[in-house]
Structure 1
Amino acid sequence: MQKIKTSIIFFVIILGTIISCTNTSDYSPKPRGFFRISFPEKTYQEAKTGCPFTMDIPSYSVLRDDRSAGAQPCWKNLDFPAYNARLHISYFKISPQAPFSALTEDARTFAFKHTAKASAIDQRRINRPEDAVYGLTYYIKGNTASNLQFFVSDSTTHYLRAALYFNEKPNMDSIAPVLEFIQADIERMVNTITWK
């Protein structure tokens, strides 16, 4: 009786193995997927900064004063709550204590701190002489903490620097669509900044 039970169990195992292995030609691994992100329609409004500059900001963002330790007047945070992202905006009045050359060197240093993780850093000149707005935008490629930074100035009185950060572990595969969406908003901001 024991031999019959053992034979039946052995037969079932062999039969199960044969049946399960017969249809392997249809198998293909599934690619890793990400959540679909739906973006709102792009609409803008002029920011009420209370500072010597104005700009257009997206209606789905929130402009707040920077309340962190060491923050100066006219430092702002532009939050994108739906995307867990923040644009840190720092305004400086150019002076002997904060000369234009030192401020632009700081912007370059902050952008190039990401060199170790960046696959490339592209720079694009900002040149709007009709509004006395000049500067650079840094497009930082790769899994870096910040993928977009810029500074603008009139080179004599006003200087504004900004850096975009996501409150997530850097992973370009997952943030690329959101970065592209917000990048268009930041480019609109840069093209609408005016000094008071």
Structure 2
Amino acid sequence: MRHITFPVLFLFTLLLSCCSEYTPKPRGYFRIDLPEETNYVAFDEKGFPFKFEYSDFSIVKPVPQNDSFWVDILYPKLNAKIYCSYKPVKNNFQDIAEDSRTFVYKHIVKADDITEQPYENPDHKIFGLLYELKGNTASNIQFILTDSTEHFFRGALYFSASPNKDSIQPVLQFIRKDIIHLIETLEWKKQK
């Protein structure tokens, strides 16, 4: 009898343990502490043909590049970088604008949607577009600013991580506000 009860008990326990449904654990993301209030600092480097304000949560690093005026805006705590490039317009506005548009629409393969939001500041002769790329794209926000006669400024936000729209959404919204502020405060400087 003793030899029979152990296998019966084992089978009974096995049957009871098989009946519960498997429920997968939800995927968790690290908590990211973003500042409640953003303070802005002026970028007004000597020799640069533009100036703007950027978040004190970021670092602006000029990129030496053959007489060009490129800057990277780094967010070290968020693993993000805004690559900003500047090109002088010399009867080649259409070519530069089309190149910039091509850079944006290369992401169409991964993007769920690309929206274009126009921007105008006639007082400072600045016109532009803010591109928002929805989905798991390498770059979620890109923008161009120009006066269409002398200056062309372009920026593209990239994260140092695999694209995952759910995990970067809070950070993306935070940096988007900084990009909007940059766009609204950018001014062309008079060259001597």
Normalising to structure 1: TM-score of the pair?
A: 0.87
For 1:112, give the aligned amino acid: Y
Number of the residue aligned with 1:44: 40
Q: Indicate if the aligned counterparts of 2:141 and 2:157 stay in contact, CA closer than 8 A.
A: yes
State the identity %.
Answer: 38
Post-superposition Cα deviations, 1:3-58, rounded to whole Å, max 9, x if no partner, equal 744x2431331342355467x48x75432221222201311111133311111100
DSSP-derived class of the 2:100 partner: helix
Match of 1:183 in 2: 176
TM-score w.r.t. length of structure 2: 0.88
Return the match for 1:127 from 120, 129, 132: 120
Aligned-partner Cα distance in 2 for 1:46–1:137: 21
Q: Distance in 2 between matches of 1:113 and 1:19?
A: 55
Rg (Cα) greater in structure? 1
Q: Who is 2:159 aligned against?
A: 166
Q: Distance in 2 between matches of 1:191 and 1:49?
A: 18
Which blocks of at least 5 consecutive residues in structure 2 are unaligned? Answer: none
Q: Which residue of 1 aligns with 2:87?
A: 92
Question: 1:181, 1:79 → 2: CA distance?
Answer: 14
Q: State the alpha-carbon separation in 1 of the partners of residues 140 and 66 from structure 2.
A: 22
Q: Please show how residues 52-71 of structure 1 align to structure 2 within 5 Å.
A: 52-67=49-64
- Which one of the candidate residues 119, 131, 135 is aligned to 1:138? 131
Say if 2:111 and 2:133, in contact at 8 Å, map to a contact too.
yes
Q: Give structure 1 stretches of 5+ with no counterpart.
A: none
Number of aligned pairs? 187
